[in-house]
Amino acid sequence: MVVASSMMIRTKKTKAVGIPTIDLSMERAELSKQVVKACEEYGFFKVVNHSVGKEVISTLEEQGAEFFAKTAAEKHRAGPATPFGYGCRNIGPNGDMGDLEYLLLHTNPLNISDRSKTISNDPIKFSCAVNDYIESTRELACEILDLVGEGLRLQDKYSLSKLIRDVQSDSLLRINHYSQMVKPKSWDPSLMKGNSNSSIGFGEHSDPQILTILRSNNVGGLQISTHDGLWIPVPPDSNEFFVMVGDALQVLTNGRFTSVRHRALTNPLKSRMSMMYFAAPPLNWWITPLPKMVTPHNPTLYKPFTWAQYKQAAYSLRLGASRLDLFKLHQQQDSNLAPPSP
């Protein structure tokens, strides 16, 4: 079974509301409060005044653009993505498709230097660009997790960032490229209304990890879903980063934060490139609600599981599945969790 790929979007309800924007230079106590509030209300926010260097961003963007400008045959030398390497249209192992091509990399420097040989004609330049970007976005993720630790008044405010600082961390980097659509000869831009010429670039899902740090060029396409199921288009901002709560952070906070469901639509006129750092713990680490988040009034909602077990569940299901339901203590029946059809 295959999910819609070039399907035109007759979108359900969308809503024009402000995306929470958090200025990282503000006073610490207020800052940690705002971070917690945004994680609770949207599971999503934009950060400004971050400390990631402009050059670190532009160097990786150039390397990505250089790769995606290659011929299909050259790009396929870096694939197929199983799950790492170059992928085109296929997302994951269960038949999900999207109008995109991508590079998916493990953040371990040895894996990067190995992969770079099939990705770039100058593998050292490519791996340096990737490693610098990972280092900077990991720091940003740690800073945000420490703010969460402060805002939630955890006994050890570093307990969340420790999960992703470990050298064995299973964090990933993804670069997605959504080409502008090829128009029929008779295509007339004046006929275009709203999103009617867009297709699904990357279908609706939540990220399994703890936190995602996303940056894109100045082309729109990302949409997030609010808790009440409305789609909000996210105005692009190439200088700033967007932060998303992942499934693992939902569990660590015992459901106080909810992972944000999101999707990407293609733009009929411009190509979009996005880069995501997915912050994850080592494979054998346990994901279980933090002690502070469990009280007699708020008993634990999830069974304990290792990150490896959660990944295995994620890869056995479709992209859009509510995979956390499998780990809830009081499970509800959900047709969305059926194993993929053969």
**DSSP label at 8?**
B
320: Cα separation from own chain's centroid:
13
Residue with tokens 């799950």: 83
CA distance 95 to 91: 7
| Binding segment (CB under 6 A) for ligand GA4, from list 8-16, 63-71, 117-125, 200-208 | 200-208
Q: What is the identity of the amino acid at 98?
A: G
Residues 123-162 that bind ligand GA4 (CB under 6 A): none
Q: Which is nearer to ligand GA4, 286 or 315 (CB)?
A: 315
Which residue of the set 174, 215, 263, 272 is catalytic? 272
- 46: contact with ligand GA4 by CB under 6 A: no
Q: Smallest distance, Å, CB 196 to ligand GA4? A: 27
Q: Smallest distance, Å, CB 215 to ligand GA4? A: 14
> Which strand ranges, in their side-by-side order, compose the sheet holding 172-178?
21-23, 44-48, 241-245, 211-216, 272-279, 172-178, 96-106, 85-91
Q: Dihedral, CA atoms, 143, 147, 148, 150, nearest 10 degrees?
A: 140
* Member of 61, 146, 207, 247 binding ligand GA4 (CB under 6 A): 207
Residue least distant from ligand GA4 (Cβ)? 92
CA distance 1 to 144: 39
Residues 61-100 that bind ligand GA4 (CB under 6 A): 83, 91-92, 94, 96
In what helix (H) or strand (E) does residue 295 lie, and over which residues does it extend? none
Residues 172-191 that bind ligand GA4 (CB under 6 A): 172, 174
Q: Smallest distance, Å, CB 91 to ligand GA4? A: 5
Q: Smallest distance, Å, CB 46 to ligand GA4? A: 19
Q: Smallest distance, Å, CB 252 to ligand GA4? A: 17
Known catalytic membership, residue 272: yes
Contact 23, 16 (CB under 8 A): no
Helix axes 123-151, 54-68, angle to 10 degrees: 130
CA distance 239 to 129: 17
Helix (H, G, I), strand (E, B) or coil at 96: strand
* Member of 103, 214, 314, 324 binding ligand GA4 (CB under 6 A): 314
Q: Which is nearer to ligand GA4, 106 or 157 (CB)?
A: 106
Binding site for ligand GA4 (CB under 6 A): 83, 91-92, 94, 96, 104, 172, 174, 205, 207-208, 278, 314-315, 319
